[in-house]
A = this chain, B = another copy of it.
Amino acid sequence: MSRDEPRTGSAEDRLIARYFAPLARQPGAFGLTDDAAILTPPDASDLVLTNDTIIAGVHFFPDDPADAVARKALRVNLSDLAAKGAEPAGFLLSLALPPDATEQWLAALAQGLRTDADRYGCPLLGGDTVRTPGPVMISVTAFGLLPRGTMVRRSGAKAGESVMVTGTIGDAALGLRLRRDPGVARQWGLDDAMRDHLMSRYLVPEPRNAVAVAIRTHASAAMDVSDGLAGDLGKLCGVSGVLAELDVMRVPLSEAARQAMGADPRLIETILTGGDDYEIVCTVAPERIAALQTACSDAGVALTEIGRAGAGEGARFIAPDGKALTFERASFSHF
């Protein structure tokens, strides 16, 4: 063995050194030159752990830009941290690459990760890079920190509390429809800006980390909306043992979603069950609502009251005629 070999390392080592080591500037990442990374939690803290995996052809389109794919992979995890009230502390990246992954693609992927790692204060700490005969797979494990015992669970909702949701619902699900069938833009009467808005909401979600501390301070239960508001809120109410009654007309919609639904009212099902929203749905006691509203407003994040939790179990969306909506499928599932 020549002395140079271990210093040069394998192709995998070179790939890591070139594209990912520059992102790993946290001391505990050891520049990706060790077997493991270190996270030093402040005393009296809890570490919040979350993992989401995305696969080409399943969770994103193989020809989506690599930087957008990278940002989506990180942001879907950041969204979980936000909904739990945790502040980002770093992430591990597991990347499976097919043989035809190009240097250009990898460079763009790394650039996307770097942009959002900086933006959200969530540095790369380590990970693994492997070959696959299958599609590109990006699995992110993200770590969040919060004072011990303060994670916001799904199970804390109580009867009498308000159900609130950040941002707007349904944009990404409509964006996915547009991505699959560009012709529906005309059918829905969307102008270019509306179409672009919906498609960008699918391509790169906007996690609500700016209000994580406010959620932790004021919400009794919360989760991020990834598989559709109807199903996700149903899960939250299920484990909390409450029945949420939601006013369909109060579900916050973007101008573009409102335009599309005006053209085709049946889209309400896509909007409420399609998923990929990455907004936070939460329950809030009456005396906390004003404070949470103020905190969200200060952070520039819209927060809308859409209904109320009462006795029972589940979630019901009430239409203007007073009847509960029924959906073919309450939430999105690849299975």
Query: Using a CB–CB distance below 8 Å, which chain A residues touch chain B?
Result: 1-7, 9-13, 15, 28, 30, 33-41, 43-55, 57-59, 80-81, 83-84, 86, 92-94, 96, 125-135, 137, 139, 141, 143-144, 148, 151, 153-155, 223-224, 227, 230-231, 233-235, 237-239, 243, 312-317, 324-327, 330-335
Which applies to chain A's interface (DSSP): helix, strand, loop or mixed? Answer: mixed
A124–chain B nearest beta-carbon distance, Å: 11
Cβ B86 vs Cβ A36 within 8 A: yes
Nearest opposing residue in chain B for A2, CB measure: B326
Cβ B57 vs Cβ A46 within 8 A: no
Cβ A35 vs Cβ B223 within 8 A: yes
Give the residue of B125, B227, B330, B331 whose beta carbon is less than 8 angstroms from that of A49.
B125
Cβ B15 vs Cβ A153 within 8 A: no
Give the residue of B132, B148, B239 whose beta carbon is less than 8 angstroms from that of A58.
B132
Cβ B49 vs Cβ A154 within 8 A: no
Cβ B139 vs Cβ A132 within 8 A: no
Cβ B1 vs Cβ A238 within 8 A: no
Cβ A7 vs Cβ B49 within 8 A: no
Nearest opposing residue in chain B for A330, CB measure: B5
Cβ B35 vs Cβ A1 within 8 A: no
Beyond A52-B128, A53-B96, A94-B141, 7 additional contacts (C-beta under 8 Å) are A11-B333, A35-B80, A37-B48, A38-B49, A49-B92, A51-B94, A58-B132
Cβ A234 vs Cβ B37 within 8 A: no
- Within 8 Å CB of A235, what residues of B? 6, 9, 13, 33
User: Once bound together, how far apart are the Cα atoms of A150 and B34, in whole Å?
Assistant: 14
Cβ A49 vs Cβ B35 within 8 A: no
Nearest opposing residue in chain B for A335, CB measure: B11
User: Once bound together, how far apart are the Cα atoms of A4 and B2, in whole Å?
Assistant: 66
Nearest opposing residue in chain B for A99, CB measure: B335
- Within 8 Å CB of A133, what residues of B? 55, 57-58, 134-135
Cβ B153 vs Cβ A34 within 8 A: yes
Cβ B5 vs Cβ A231 within 8 A: yes
Cβ B46 vs Cβ A315 within 8 A: no
Cβ A3 vs Cβ B35 within 8 A: no
Nearest opposing residue in chain B for A151, CB measure: B38
Give the residue of B47, B57, B132, B313 whose beta carbon is less than 8 angstroms from that of A40.
B47
- Within 8 Å CB of A239, what residues of B? 33-34
Cβ A33 vs Cβ B317 within 8 A: no
Cβ B234 vs Cβ A126 within 8 A: no
Cβ A10 vs Cβ B231 within 8 A: yes
User: Once bound together, how far apart are the Cα atoms of A130 and B223, in whole Å?
Assistant: 19
